[in-house]
Amino acid sequence: MKRIIIDRDKCDGCLNCNIACISAHEEGSNFYTVNMQSPDAETRNFIKFDTQKGYLPIFCRHCDEPECVLSCMSGALEKDPVTGHVQYDESKCAACYMCVMNCPYGVLKPDSKTRTKVIKCDFCDDKPDGPSCVKACPKKAIEVKEVSL
């Protein structure tokens, strides 16, 4: 499967990945027009800073054993057997947030506006040119690579 591979030493915390993610999920917007003030402006990836370790990119791993899928009681979260990516069907989701509780890496979150859905990486719907965050990274700290499923 394809996974976003992180080289954290290369990350310098520019947050272009955040903006690219928000823009990718705001229809018709681009890097320059994206409305960062909108309550819908929610990034699916995070860059944390640690005084000793530096920048720490936190991106959904679409885990081999996804705890979020195992915790999902509505069938909204499923691991695609072909792509290996964990897909989220908003129409099925009942917003119980057991996936938020169960993601060991703290990647998942409720939407802050309505608390009726989960904000989760969708690998930009497996678009042929890859996830927006990866394209936006000027340092190649995140790159899509093939890993065995």
Partner 1 sequence: MKIVIIGASAAGISAAKTIKASEPVTEVVIISKEDSVHSRCMLHKFLGHERDAKGISFIAEDFFEKNGITWLSNTTVIGLDAQKKTVKTHDNRDINYDKLLIATGASYFIPPIPGLRESKNVYGFRDLKDAQLLDSECNTARNAVVIGAGLVGMDAAVALLARGLKVTVIEMTQSVMSLQLDQKSAEAYQQLFEKNGTEFVLADKVVSVDVDEVGRGKTIHLASGKAIPADVIVIAAGVRPAFNFTEGSGITTDHAILVGDDLKTNIDDIYAAGDVTGIAGIWPNAMKQGRIAAINMLGEKLLYEDRYALKNTVNFFGLTTLSLGNINPEVEENCDIFIREDRNNYQKIVMKKGVVQGVIIQGNIGGTGFWQYLIKNKIVVSSKNKDVFDLSYADFYGLDQSTGEYNYAV
- Write out the residues near partner 1 by the rule CB under 8 A: 3-6, 8, 46, 48-50, 53, 56, 58, 61, 63-64, 67, 70-75, 81, 92, 94-98, 100-110, 112, 114-116, 119, 145, 147-148
By beta-carbon proximity to partner 1, the closer residue of 72 and 124 is 72
- Using the 8-state DSSP alphabet, how is residue 8 labeled? G
Contact (Cβ atoms closer than 8 angstroms) between residue 140 and residue 149? no
**Number of C-beta neighbours around residue 5 at 10 A:** 14
Question: What are the distances in angstroms from CA 37 to CA 5, 22, 34, 41, 108?
Answer: 29, 11, 9, 7, 21
Q: Considering the complex, what minimum distance in angstroms separates the CB of residue 28 from partner 1? A: 26
3-state secondary structure 113-133: CCCCCEECCCHHHHCCCCCHH
Contact (Cβ atoms closer than 8 angstroms) between residue 57 and residue 72? no
- Using the 8-state DSSP alphabet, how is residue 75 labeled? S
By beta-carbon proximity to partner 1, the closer residue of 36 and 94 is 94
Q: Considering the complex, what minimum distance in angstroms separates the CB of residue 127 from partner 1? A: 20
By beta-carbon proximity to partner 1, the closer residue of 31 and 140 is 140
Q: Considering the complex, what minimum distance in angstroms separates the CB of residue 47 from partner 1? A: 9
Q: Considering the complex, what minimum distance in angstroms separates the CB of residue 132 from partner 1? A: 18
By beta-carbon proximity to partner 1, the closer residue of 32 and 66 is 66
